[in-house]
Amino acid sequence: MKLLIDGYNLLHVAGLMGRRLGPGGLERARNALLGLLASSLTPEEAARTIVVFDAGAKAPRDRPRHELLHGIQVQYSEPGEEADDLLERLIAADSAPKQLTVVSGDHRLQRAAKRRKATAVASEAWLEELNRRRGSTPTARPPRTSKPTEPLTAEEVEAWLKEFGVG
């Protein structure tokens, strides 16, 4: 079975993306998620897994838009494109959608998967199953249930602009 993962959605659910990431924090969070997946999936499962992230203005740290990390395919959206757009294209292009599992809490992506007769699994449920399978309990912070109410500091704004290649 092929696995297509909405990277930032799963990263948030896993509690790996705190509010104050600081410079390089987003890349560290992505790497932590990929490490979690690599340690949880068999090599065969990893080889059939694609994780998609938004790239913003460019792929992180001048990385290519497609790369193989820990045996897992990682793809970044194109400039001006959201990860959801890329995920929908990958769902539509899959030659065997009944063998595809899409991991995302995004209703748009779940509907796209179901239209193609693929399996749609919410990130929370998939992560719980992954932790059960590993025989572990989640060690990451639980995700926030609401958006932060206080504004970002000037330093945080600058770090985020730099992270996405805008600043």
Q: Which of 43-47, 75-79, 149-153 has the lowest mean pLDDT?
A: 149-153
Task: Look up residue 3 and give its DSSP letter.
Answer: E
Q: In this predicted structure, what is the pLDDT of residue 146? A: 47
Angle, alpha carbons 85-91-92 (nearest 5°): 90
Q: Give the least confident one: 1-10, 38-47, 54-63, 148-157.
A: 54-63
Percentage of the chain beyond pLDDT 90 is: 51
Tokens of 160: 């985020």
What is the spatial distance between Cα 161 and Cα 23, in angstroms, rounded to a whole number?
A: 10
Three-class DSSP labels, 99-119 = HEEEECCCHHHHHHHHHCCCE
| Res. 48: pLDDT tops 90 | yes
User: Given the structure tokens 């998609």, which residue do they identify?
Assistant: 52
Beta strands, E only, 57-103: 66-69, 72-76, 100-103
Q: What is the mean pLDDT of the chain?
A: 82
Q: List phi, psi (to 5°) of 102.
A: -110, 120
Among 6-10, 42-46, 132-136, which is the least confidently predicted range?
132-136
CA distance 65 to 104: 20
* Strand 66-69 versus strand 2-6 pairing type: unpaired
Q: Which two tokens stand for residue 6?
A: 């909405």
User: Residue 140's pLDDT is what?
Assistant: 46
Poorest-pLDDT segment among 75-89, 118-132, 138-152:
138-152
Task: Check residue 160 and give its pLDDT.
Answer: 62
Question: In this structure, what token pair is assigned to residue 113?
Answer: 């998967």
